Amino acid sequence: MANQYKLNCDGLVCPLPVAKTKRKLSEMDQGDILEVKGDFPEAGENIKRFVENQGHRVIKFNIDGNNFYLKIEKQ
């Protein structure tokens, strides 16, 4: 069974949310799920691009006003 992790990036602007996501993914096993939320929409877009470029799967991506939410499966 996959582990699930959460990462809160509220109050952080790029490149910190991407760096924190990269670090957390490096600590996880294949198939694990990471939920990332924050309040800087551009960071959400950057994280999504980074994750896809690294070959991970974006299960869900949502921007609502100034908040973003990503659900990622590590590949």
Query: Which residues are annotated as catalytic?
Result: 14
Amino acid at 42: E
For tokens 């609502």, the residue is 64
Cβ atoms within 10 Å, residue 17: 28
